[in-house]
Structure 1
Amino acid sequence: MERLAGRVMLLSGAGQAFTALGAGLFSVLALPPFGFFAALFVSLPLLVWLLDGATPAPGATGLRRLAPAFRIGWLFGFGYFVGGLWWLGNALLVEAEDFAWALPLAVFGLPAFLALYYGLATALARLFWSDGWGRIAALAAAFGVSEWLRGLLFTGFPWNAVGYGAMPVPLLMQSAAPLGIAAINALAVFVFAMPALLGTRRGWKVGLALAGVLFAAHVGYGVHALHVRPVPASAEAVVRLVQPVIDQAMKLDDSARAEIFERHLALSAAPAEEGGRRPDIIVWPETSIPFILTHNPDALSRIAEVLDDDQMLVAGAVRTEDGGTGKPPRYYNSVYVIDGKGQITAAADKVHLVPFGEYMPFEDLLQSFGVSAVAAMPGGFSGARDHQVLTVAAQRLYPLICYEAIFPDEIGAQAEDVSALLNVTNDAWFGRTPGPYQHFQQAQLRAVERGLPLVRSANNGISAVIDARGRIVTGLAYDVPGFVDAALPGRLDDPAAAERHRMVFWGVIAFFFLLALVARTAFRRG
């Protein structure tokens, strides 16, 4: 191990670049659909050794002293994000004649930008660099801060935060409840990078013992939460998830709208499985209604024909409202609640829109070059100011439309008294790629973090009813058309979760930076 570490530290030029790039790419094995978390025990120690060798050029001053560390972190991040997000390009091929030109920007441009955060992390860690486990603490704190910034700046995009690699299954997700994903990002780097000490031998016994204790606590808490703590009782409501599996090209075909609508209705009208109870709530995916519902009263009549009087439908749709005198109408990515009489009783609009997907940043400038958003209505979608809780068959549901489920802070104070989280999405844009599996895992974590069950309906999967500990009660696999019925699981009462997660995160970051500072001071004196 010492010989390997020494060789990695001495790499330069192309060898150093390809090793950093390869380490980031190898890290992707920890993410869905692979879930091989042990990959991080290889890639992160390699990153540490590369940073050990990232010495500045003689005479370099100021930020130039950090340039080698930034370069290594950027290359590591570029490999990680290309390997983990390449599937975004699939959305551009749905209407290839209009958007194929942007394929390199999606596959390589976005990863190149996101890699800046990891470059920032390694440069920041290098400021506190020392020997032994102090440098591991510095790297963990710096990664925690960079991941926090990635979820915040420029509307945020925290997809595939490094902590998700430590939580591939519900047993390993339970730490998210007391800690939150932000703190786990830092803790995961601290644990997974610790084997790097075997290559330098300094402080390795203490470091590995500490990492072992943290990992054992991670697993032990999962066992306790799943098998010792009481399970909340299920609610009385029965929910049906409809998964129609409609190809995205078909969804964009105006002539197929009636067929799409009838397919949803047929799955909604199907009888419950033998011995099962008729559903109280039926959930359709994001933009499942293929036209402006308020412009089609006959569609509401058809829904009323399918629903019993006391049943309710929650359906994704595009909602429109008048823009005012001389202004174009506004469009919203929304969910409607429709009762058994075919009346719209409530609606909630998406708050956090997808840049370049649902709206265009710097719209006037980019449209002058003929660039438009991939999935937007004319003029783009508008975002709501805040989330609206939906009351459906005596249950209060907190809607998260599509990728809103990847943002922990998207779940606001209104969620304190809700029955469940509701995630409707359409991942058909991305085909049979890792994207839908990664999206599902991140939605799963929101249930664990907030102690709330999750009802998730996806056009082509993965649809599931998930309990408050992240376990799948029932669901449909990717690209399997049909429906499933399940009693809505009960919630865990944890109203202070969001505030606690913020305090824990900053506490962990401060502690790791303090360790790094103490270790660096001791290293200089030594």
Structure 2
Amino acid sequence: MERIAEAIMLSWGGKRILLAFGAGALFVMALPPFNFFAVLFVSFPVLVWLLDGASGPADAGFLGRLRPAFATGWWFGFGYFVAGLWWLGNALLVEGDSFAWALPFAVLGLPAVLALFYGVSTALARLLWSDGLGRIAALSAAFGLGEWARGYFFTGFPWNAIGYAAMPAPLMMQSAELVGIFGMSALTVFVFSAPALVGTRRGAVAGILAALVLFSAHVGYGWYALDRLDTTDLQPSKAVVRIVQPAIGQSAKWDMAERERIFAKLLQLSAVPPREGKPRPTHVVWPETALPFLLTENPGALSRIADMLQVGQTLVTGAVRFEDGVGGAPPRYYNTIYVIDDEGQIIGSADKAHLVPFGEYLPFETLLRRYGLEPIAETFGGFSAADRRGLLELPGGLGAIPLICYEAIFPDLSHVSDGRGTLLLNVTNDTWYGNTPGPYQHLRQAQLRAVEVRLPLVRAANSGISAVVDAGGRIVASMGLGESGVFDVDLPPGAGDFSYIKNRQFNFGLIIVIMLGTALWSRRRKRQGLD
């Protein structure tokens, strides 16, 4: 182990770049659909040893001394994001003639930008670097802060935060209730970096012991939390939810000639009788932008929906909502969830608040449109963001917290300010990404939102993966990627306690303080010659 560590520390040039890039790319094997989290015991020790040898010349100035550490983290992040997000390019090929030119920017450009967060993290960690356990703590704190920043800066894009790699199954998801995804990211780095101490000996016993305690506590709390959910007398819901997964091809979705066929398929699937002896669904859920037209342009659509619904049933569907411009302004379009009752009346709606940059809207629109750029979802000229978010009231006393598409990756969006809510409602259209890891990664992140707020998740995806998840993150029922059909599920009970939100924020801060304190203490001892 010591020889391997020394060889990695002393590597330089192209070999060092390849090691950092490869360690980051290997990391992706810990994510869905692979879930082989043991690779982290390779990726992070390699990163630690690379950083051990990443000190700049003493006379290079402050930034010059940090440049090698930044470059190491950047190449590690670049490998991770290229291997983990390559499938984004699939969305550009749906309309190949229009967006194929942008493929390198999606597959390489976005990872290059996201890797900056990891470069800054490793540079920050290198400021507090020492020979023993302290450097592991410094790296843990720096990555925790880096992932938190990635979740908020430049509209935020916390996709595949490091902590998801340590949560491949519900038993290992429960700690997110206590520390959130960013706290889990910091702890994941600490636990899986600890083996690096064996290669350099200093602090190995204390580091490995601390990692074992943390990992054991992680699994132990998972067992305790799931047992608590299973033995607590939770108020059962009387709702029976039907998820409709139509598997409509993205190229056909807004084809004028296909709209009637698509709408008829949605109505037909929704009207399928329940299995013998099973109750009929009380709520039917269609995916994001399932309606292939504007309701205002198809006045008969609501009547046909009313004819399909039985008395007491409710349809919840994704759709595009149109709003006239004010004072000569152009019309506005919203990515919306509609609630429609059995008489064909719209009784509720919620608009998407967090739009996808370059996908649903164009940042710096006036400037970039001059150069011929447009959002990928350009069918209606792009979308506008909701002015506010709120609870979506559903018949049957249900309060749905709306999460449209990738809003499910943002922890702050999985609750509302008044602390109410009985379920998370995620409608999405992952058809853009085809049969790639993207839909699996998206589902995993939505699962974690259910754990964090202890509410069931109802998820309808156009071509998968649709699922109903209980408050423990366990998938109760699902439909595979690319399949077409319906499934009915009794809505699992929720144990929502939004007080955990403030606790998680405090606990995350406490983790960072402890890690930084350990790093500073270790560095001080090194300077005093005590280590």
TM range (shorter): over 0.9
TM-superposed CA distance for 1:237, in Å, is 0.7
Measured after TM superposition, the shift of residue 233 of structure 1 is 4.2
Q: Deviations over 1:191-212 (max 9, x none)?
A: 0100000100111011100000
Q: Secondary structure at the match of 1:275?
A: coil
Match of 1:404 in 2: 407
Letter in 1 for 2:217: A
Deviations 1:298-342 (A, max 9, x none): 010110110012100000000011111312111000000000011
Distance 2:247 2:179 in 1: 36
Q: Secondary structure at the match of 2:26?
A: helix
* 2:96 is the counterpart of 1:93: no
The 2-side partners of 1:43 and 1:135 are apart by: 16
2:97 is paired with a residue of what secondary structure?
helix
State the SS of the aligned residue for 2:195. Answer: helix
* Structure 2 counterpart of 1:254: 256
Q: Report what 1:80 is aligned to.
A: 80
Matches within 5 A, 1:11-50: 11-50=11-50
The residue correspondences of 1:216-295 to structure 2 (distance < 5 A) are 216-229=216-229, 230-231=231-232, 232-295=234-297
Note the C-alpha offset of 1:480: 1.3
Q: How does 1:208-219 map to 2 (within 5 A)?
A: 208-219=208-219
Match of 1:507 in 2: 510
Alignment match, 2:343: 341
Task: For residue 413 of structure 1, report the CA deviation from its aligned partner.
Answer: 3.2
**Root mean square deviation of aligned Cα:** 1.0
Q: Amino acid of the residue matched to residue 332 of structure 1? A: Y
User: Which residue in 2 is equivalent to 1:143?
Assistant: 143
String of CA shifts for 1:377-396, please: whole Å, max 9, x gaps: 44421101222211212211
1:335-371 CA distance string (max 9 Å, x none): 0000001111111000000000000001111111111
Paired position in structure 1 for 2:355:
353
Match of 1:54 in 2: 54
Q: Do the aligned residues in 1 keep the contact of 2:159 with 2:409 (CA within 8 Å)?
A: yes
Residues 247-256 or 196-205, more deviating: 247-256
Equivalent residue, structure 2, for 1:449: 452
Rounded to whole Å, the distance in 2 between the matches of 1:19 and 1:127 is 22
- 1:293–1:485: structure 2 CA closer, same or farther, 3 Å change rule? same
Alignment deviations for residues 4-39 of structure 1 (CA, whole Å, 9 cap, x no partner): 000000000011000000000000001110011111
Aligned equivalent of 2:194: 194
Q: 1:314 — aligned with what?
A: 316
Residues 126-159 of structure 1: CA deviation (Å, up to 9, x unaligned):
0000011100000000000010000000100000
Distance 1:125 1:414 in 2: 35
Distance 1:73 1:413 in 2: 36
Contact 1:398 1:415 in 2 (8 A): no
Deviation of the 1:221 alpha carbon: 0.9
- Distance, in Å, in 1 between the alignment partners of 2:197 and 2:149 is 28
d(CA) in 1 for partners of 2:513, 2:237 = 41
Q: For residue 302 of structure 1, what is the aligned residue in structure 2?
A: 304
For 2:287, the aligned partner's letter is P
* Cα contact 1:88–1:106 (8 A) shared by 2: yes
Partners of 1:9 and 1:442 lie apart in 2 by 35
Residue 234 of structure 1 contacts residue 487 of structure 1 at CA under 8 Å; is this kept in 2? Answer: no
* Contact 2:171/2:222 (8 A) holds in 1: yes
Equivalents in 2 of 1:495, 1:91: separation in Å? 36
**1:174·1:221 contact (CA, 8 Å) conserved in 2?**
yes
**CA distance in structure 2 between the partners assigned to 1:257 and 1:361 by the alignment:** 30
Aligned partners of 2:123, 2:301: CA distance in 1, in Å?
A: 57
Structure 1 counterpart of 2:464: 461
Helix, strand or coil for the counterpart of 1:398? strand
Q: Matched residues in 2 for 1:153 and 1:79: separation? A: 21
How far apart, CA to CA, are the structure 2 residues paired with 1:493 and 1:303? 32
Question: 1:487 — aligned with what?
Answer: 490
Asked whether the equivalents of residues 86 and 107 of structure 1 are also in contact (C-alpha less than 8 Å), the reply is yes
Partner Cα separation in structure 1 for residue 93 and residue 51 of structure 2? 38
Provide the rounded CA distance (Å) in 1 between the counterparts of 2:493 and 2:417: 18
Rounded to whole Å, the distance in 2 between the matches of 1:372 and 1:241 is 33
Question: 1:461-494 CA distances to partner (integer Å, 9 max, x unpaired)?
Answer: 1111110010011111111111111111111131
TM-superposed CA distance for 1:376, in Å, is 3.4
For 2:476, the aligned partner's letter is V
Q: How many Å separate the matches in 1 of 2:381 and 2:91?
A: 20
Structure 2 residue identity aligned to 1:6: E
Structure 1: runs of 5 or more not aligned? none
CA distances 1:277-310 after superposition (whole Å, capped 9, x unpaired): 1000000000000000132110101101100121
Number of residue pairs aligned between Structure 1 and Structure 2:
526
Alpha-carbon distance in structure 2 between the residues aligned to 1:367 and 1:389 = 35
- Counterpart in the other structure of 1:329: 331
Alignment of 1:369-380 (within 5 A): 369-380=371-382
Residue aligning to 2:439 = 436
- C-alpha distance in 1 between matches for 2:198 and 2:387: 51
Q: TM-score if structure 2 supplies the norm length?
A: 0.98
- The separation in 2 between residues aligned to 1:221 and 1:484, in whole angstroms, is 32
Cα distance in 1, alignment partners of residues 137 and 281 from structure 2: 51
Can you give the 5+ residue segments of structure 2 that lack an aligned partner in the other structure? none
Normalising by structure 1, report the TM-score: 0.99
Deviates more, 1:494-503 or 1:222-231: 222-231
What does residue 71 of structure 1 align with?
71
